[in-house]
Each structure stands twice: as C-alpha cells, then as structure tokens.
A = this chain, B = another copy of it.
Amino acid sequence: MTDFEVDLVREMDNWGTLTARQNPHLRVATPPAFGGPEGVWSPEELLVASVGGCLMSTFLYFANRFNVAVEAYASTARGSLNKTPEGLRFTDFEVAIRVTVPDESARETAASLRLKEKLEKYCPVSASLNCPVRLDLSIETETGRRDLHRG
C-alpha cells in the first residue's frame, strides 16, 4: 500500500494552499466557470492534470520496460463535467497523446506492444475514475512527424 497525503489551508474567499512533502506550495481555487479567479489551478483541472500525468508515468514505465526509446511525449487531456440526476459529475475524459520515437523500428516495436490497451488497463488514476477515459495515442518517428507537418 502506498499512501499519498495532501494538506490544504484556506487563505481567503475560495482560495487555498495545497502542500505535500517538500513539493512547491500549490494554490487552488474554484474555477472561473463557478465564480473563481483566473490564473489559479482549480480542483477540476488538478483532476485532469492527474489523469494526464499518470498516463505519462505509466507510458514511460512500459516504454522503459520494453526498451522503447521515447524522444518526446506530449498530451492534451480534457475532462467534461456535466449535470446528472445525482448532481455535477465528470462524465468522460479524453486524452490525446503524441509520442515521438527515434526510428521506424522503434515505432513498430511500440505498435506491437499494444500500449494504448496497457495504459487503459494500468494507469492507476484513470482506473480509479467511474467514467470512461478515452485515449488517442499517436506514435510517430521524428521523420514521420516532419513529413506529416509538411503535408
């Protein structure tokens, strides 16, 4: 069992400061959509950040385990909060992941590993949510990506 502990102290209005271990202090506030300020992480965004971050850790774990070199990794994660009969709930997440590997051989190895299925199954944060987390995983070589951008 691994425990993760986070403290929170309200500073004013709906602003607070989150602390954990020796991590930098992290300010949190209600999102602008619900009357909070701009320029501060909201709890809802921290949840989406957590999903994106955990998918990256999980991806890199498998890439390392199967000796796939990863040159670049970037993602855009989106979580949708909706009114349901039970109240406001996250109803789905979508994460677009763009990975660059050094060459065609690495790309083929990565493709053979069914990494999307592994992420769906083993990312602990996604797997702890009660709504779908849909992944779009693109793995390209540096050259392939250049060609793509050239059109």
Q: Are B56 and A10 within 8 A (Cβ)? A: yes
**A114 CB, nearest partner CB in chain B, Å:** 15
A124's partner among B23, B60, B89, B125 (CB-CB below 8 A) is: B89
Q: Are A22 and B50 within 8 A (Cβ)? A: no
Q: State whether the Cβ of A102 lies closer than 8 Å to any Cβ in chain B.
A: no
Chain B residues with CB under 8 Å of A90's CB are: 124-125, 128
Q: State whether the Cβ of A117 lies closer than 8 Å to any Cβ in chain B.
A: no
A47's partner among B34, B50, B73, B89 (CB-CB below 8 A) is: B50
Q: Are A128 and B125 within 8 A (Cβ)? A: no
Chain B residues with CB under 8 Å of A72's CB are: 10
**A80 CB, nearest partner CB in chain B, Å:** 5
